[in-house]
Chain A
């Protein structure tokens, strides 16, 4: 399961992917979600006194997919042939595996 991580700018590392837009106090977007963190981006954000970032966790995609399947099996272990819960499970998989988010 992917959950974004909020961290101090000082803890951000090159190669991480931004999970949310970075905005300044006036609401102006400084860096968009999905952008890969670089040294120059970190430098720019430091200058603009940004203190916190939300990034995607660094994970192995196939291990994550397997973990998601295992967790779904557990959570839906009593759903059996219930059509409503089958619909919910399909929707959840679509959401979790969906590609239109930064992470």
Chain B
């Protein structure tokens, strides 16, 4: 089996994200809205634009089939969300989809988008920027995507272990690989120059400590809610333990919880349109 450094080296064979994504991220960090820059960016990534329009045309926004340009999409869903969705599409497109492998590509990205939507919903409750939260959720399991897309043999061995033991993925990874997808994902996020807060959310979304940042808490609880809602499919998944301090931070009361789940489910279904076939 490969070491984590060797695994990361494999990930570096993925198509470069630097061009589109780095710029999209820079744009995202600017306070002022700049649609023309985004348009220039998207002219170089037609796949991302097509995916964005799928979302704008999803039932969630109620204008099925009538959004055909970037400016219309921005008017409808707002610039911050537009930028985030473009980034999400650009990330997904960096990972090749192979037929016949052990990795459930669609199921994986559905789960990631579900956690992203849940993170965006939860973020304002603890003072986190919703779009940063969306990206944190989108990327939280990026280490699994690296295993699934770049390290077929290792990924298959982890899956076998998950099935044999009915254990958590991270537990199987530690036994089989000696490192977890959290660590691998955080290392990749560092290499891809994602903000430190996002690297931390990837690294710590399973193992929280008392100093966990609000973003870590958001992604941790969002992951629990997305699995509860059965959005996407990670092999052998189960609703994981919830960190009580993080849960308490959101101040849910039981009567409102069904409504929270419904709201997240609706937003997630809209975000899933990013994954639809782009013709």
Interface residues of A (CB under 8 A from B): 1, 3-4, 6, 19-21, 23, 25, 27, 51-52, 54, 71, 74-79, 82, 84-85, 87-92, 94-95, 98, 101
Contacts and interface: CB of A to CB of B under 8 A. Distances in A.
Interface stretch (B24-32, B61-69, B193-201): B61-69
Contacts of A101: 262
Contacts of B19: none
Contacts of A94: 258
B contact residues, range: 20 to 34
B84 to A, nearest CB: 23
Contacts of A92: 228-229, 258, 261
B238 A88 contact: no
Contact of A6 (B59, B224, B244): B59
Nearest to B58: A6
Contact of A85 (B59, B65, B242): B242
A88 B258 contact: no
25 contacts: A4-B59, A27-B63, A51-B65, A71-B230, A75-B227, A75-B228, A75-B230, A75-B237, A75-B238, A77-B238, A78-B238, A84-B247, A85-B241, A87-B254, A88-B239, A91-B254, A91-B257, A91-B260, A92-B229, A92-B258, A92-B261, A95-B259, A95-B262, A98-B258, A101-B262
Contact of A1 (B224, B230, B242): B230
A75 B239 contact: yes
B59 A25 contact: no
B257 A87 contact: yes
Interface string B250-269: 00001001111110010001
Given A23-B62, A23-B64, A75-B237, 12 more contacts: A1-B230, A20-B59, A21-B62, A71-B230, A75-B239, A76-B238, A76-B239, A84-B242, A85-B239, A85-B242, A89-B239, A91-B261
A6 B64 CA distance: 10
Contact of B59 (A51, A54, A76, A87): A54
Contacts of B258: 91-92, 94-95, 98
B238 A95 contact: no
The winner among B63, B229, B239 for most chain A CB atoms within 10 A is B239
Contact of B62 (A19, A27, A78): A27
